[in-house]
């Protein structure tokens, strides 16, 4: 099942201009912290020009600092960008719409989560988390629950 990946506080710039609206790859100065899509996974990022005019792209692969994408997502249009353009991973309307429940026909009653924690995770201080189980935590991965926070596995 395709899955949108998310990451916090990721911002970089283009390493080279995007000179064609048909381009499906672009290079950034740094891909540090960006998700690594595999198989059908992806993430959305926003390209912003100096006037903060956005284009949202669906990134399907990251190799080094080169991102492969589907252009003009979430109601935006493919555009050209100068080398100074900002590239950010933001929560988009497309992701929020995809997070909704699934079901047969018009039913929207099922929410799904993975069964294994493969990457260490810290619940945000002052927040709680909820997961449906059973849940396994892979060797080397940890889940940190700050004082005052709660992780409920249903």
Cβ atoms within 10 Å, residue 154: 7
State how far Cα 8 lies from the chain centre. Answer: 9
Q: Is the pTM of this model over 0.75?
A: no
Question: CA 64 to CA 50: how far, in whole Å?
Answer: 25
Along the 154 residues of the chain, how does pLDDT read in single tens digits? 678 898 998 999 999 999 999 999 999 999 999 999 988 899 999 999 999 999 999 999 999 999 999 999 999 999 999 998 999 998 888 887 777 666 777 676 777 788 999 999 998 888 888 888 899 999 999 999 999 999 999 8
């Amino acid at each position: 099942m395709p899955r949108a990946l998310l990451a916090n506080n990721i911002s970089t710039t283009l390493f080279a201009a995007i000179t064609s609206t048909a381009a499906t790859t672009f290079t950034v100065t740094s891909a540090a912290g960006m998700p690594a899509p595999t198989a059908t996974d992806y993430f959305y990022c926003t390209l912003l020009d100096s006037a903060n005019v956005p284009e949202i792209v669906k990134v399907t692969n990251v190799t080094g600092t080169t991102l492969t994408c589907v252009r003009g997502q979430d109601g935006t249009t493919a555009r050209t960008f100068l080398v100074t353009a900002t590239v950010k991973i933001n929560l988009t309307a497309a992701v929020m719409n995809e997070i909704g429940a699934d079901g047969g026909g018009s039913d929207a009653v099922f929410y799904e989560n993975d069964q294994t924690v493969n990457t260490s995770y810290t619940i945000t201080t002052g927040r709680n988390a909820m997961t449906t189980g059973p849940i396994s935590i892979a060797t080397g991965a940890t889940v940190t629950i700050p004082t005052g926070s709660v992780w409920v596995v249903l």
